A and B are shown apart, each in its own frame.
Chain A
Amino acid sequence: GAVVSQHPSRVICKSGTSVKIECRSLDFQATTMFWYRQFPKQSLMLMATSNEGSKATYEQGVEKDKFLINHASLTLSTLTVTSAHPEDSSFYICSASAGAAYEQYFGPGTRLTVT
């Protein structure tokens, strides 16, 4: 099956700093990438959908200025959490798809801890 990687797998940052998370599709071209957030013992909440070369579409309630998403190529999307605060601590998971009719493949997730 297709492989999606995320980097870093874990990151600890201080409050007020920014952190970037990378999501890569390793063996296919991902026209669409999704970013999810998962709190402990809870389900995945879609944050935004990004299509290569265009602006991301954010879900209601997600601050686009705080969670910057870039999908500059067909194999890479980045999520930057700007001015992070402890409440941003969470498990962030990306997924990638070759298109609406195709399967969505998930990355292994990134554990963000803001101190």
Chain B
Amino acid sequence: AQSVTQLGSHVSVSEGALVLLRCNYSSSVPPYLFWYVQYPNQGLQLLLKYTSAATLVKGINGFEAEFKKSETSFHLTKPSAHMSDAAEYFCAVSKTGGGNKLTFGTGTQLKVEL
């Protein structure tokens, strides 16, 4: 069975500050890991994904995440927050490249303040 835990349902940062959203996973097989962003009343957009290649993954909008097997973590970071980053972020795990069943975390609402 696979599962994802996102620590912190709400994260608030100042504009220009570092963004760190935490994700820990549990998987019985080598995982494929994803970060998605959701704006209000919209579907999900893929930010980045880990598919067993490089452990540091760069995504869109300046986001990146590092896969750490020893810590079973896949935390999402961005060096400098922008107001437009305010949204809901979901971490997800899959057994394959993503075209298979995804298990989502509970989400983290990111608030960016002036």
Contacts and interface: CB of A to CB of B under 8 A. Distances in A.
Interface residues of B, number: 22
Nearest to A31: B99
Contacts of B106: 42-43
Contacts, number: 61
A109 B45 CA distance: 12
Contacts of A46: 101-103
Interface in B61-108: 90, 96-107
Interface residues of A, number: 27
A69 interface: no
A97 interface: yes
Contact of A97 (B36, B49, B98): B98
Main secondary structure of the interface of A (DSSP, over half): strand
B43 A104 contact: no
Contacts of A43: 90, 104-107
B44 interface: yes
11 contacts: A41-B109, A44-B44, A46-B101, A49-B101, A93-B44, A95-B44, A98-B99, A104-B102, A105-B46, A106-B36, A107-B43
